[in-house]
């Protein structure tokens, strides 16, 4: 990929470990590394199952891209299936860490669909890309809003519109988010319809 980047219509899936600052203060460094490896394993296995690409990892955050040009119509659906798979397997992390942590481990997911620019910034390591655009900002903010809405997956209107025939949803509300001039309807997926 050249340094100028490439525009892409994609669905982004951003994950964060809920209450990670609390976890870091309970576990020692080696345990924290093992814990994050367990979380990343669950997320990356789900991404591989639904053909998502890992763009980068930063601490407890993983950024996935569902951007296959030949399957553009299906990218949002695969991202939601990935998010639901992450939720279905996150319990194995809670079981493994139940003695060290006195609460359930939750992985929060924000999903948004739109145009992004993907490319290298400066002398970055090979195969690590920067994601740029409002879609990126939106996915990041949605992942951070999950706790406030008492859900583990939130998605934007664009993703909802492209997938409303494949899943049942609950509208979680509407928000004026940082960097946006209009309120954004946000949804949480409940079940797959097929």
Taking 60 as the threshold, does the pLDDT of residue 1 lie above it? no
Q: Residue 178 class from Cβ within 10 Å (0-12 exposed, 13-18 middle, 19+ buried)?
A: exposed
Other Cβ atoms within 10 Å of 76 Cβ, number: 26
> pLDDT averaged over the chain?
90
Element (H, E) at 124: none
Which tokens hold the place of 1?
């990929």
Which stretch of 11-25, 58-72, 73-87 has the lowest confidence by average pLDDT?
Answer: 58-72
**pLDDT score for 125:** 60
Among 60, 179, 57, 49, which residue's Cα sits nearest to residue 112?
A: 179
Q: Does domain 6-192 have CATH number 3.30.70.1230?
A: yes
Q: How many residues does the chain have?
A: 194
Average of per-residue pLDDT across 72-101: 92
Average of per-residue pLDDT across 176-181: 78
The pLDDT tens digits for 121-178 are: 776 666 567 888 899 899 999 999 999 999 999 999 999 999 999 999 999 989 878 8
Among 143, 132, 191, which residue's Cα sits nearest to residue 13?
A: 143
- CA count, 13 A, side-chain hemisphere, 40: 16
pTM of the model: 0.91
Q: Where are the alpha helices (DSSP H) in 50-133?
A: 75-89, 91-96
Other Cβ atoms within 10 Å of 39 Cβ, number: 23
Among 194, 113, 122, 118, which residue's Cα sits nearest to residue 160?
A: 113
């Amino acid at each position: 990929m050249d340094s100028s980047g490439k525009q892409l219509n994609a669905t982004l899936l951003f994950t964060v470990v809920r209450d990670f600052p609390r976890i870091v203060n309970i576990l020692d460094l080696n345990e924290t590394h093992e814990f994050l490896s367990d979380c990343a394993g669950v997320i990356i296995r789900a991404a591989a199952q639904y053909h998502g690409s890992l763009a980068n990892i930063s601490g407890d955050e993983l950024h996935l891209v569902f951007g296959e040009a030949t399957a553009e119509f299906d990218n949002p659906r695969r991202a939601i299936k990935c998010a639901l798979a992450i939720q279905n397997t996150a319990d194995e992390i809670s079981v493994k860490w139940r003695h060290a942590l006195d609460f359930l481990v939750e992985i929060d997911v924000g999903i948004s669909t739109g145009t992004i620019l993907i490319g290298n910034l400066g002398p970055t390591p090979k195969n690590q890309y920067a994601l740029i655009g409002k879609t990126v900002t939106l996915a990041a903010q949605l992942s951070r809003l999950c706790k406030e809405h008492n859900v583990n997956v939130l998605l934007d209107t664009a993703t909802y519109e492209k997938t409303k025939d494949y899943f049942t949803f609950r509208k979680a509300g509407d928000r004026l988010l940082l960097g946006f001039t209009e309120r954004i309807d946000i949804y949480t997926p409940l079940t797959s319809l097929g």
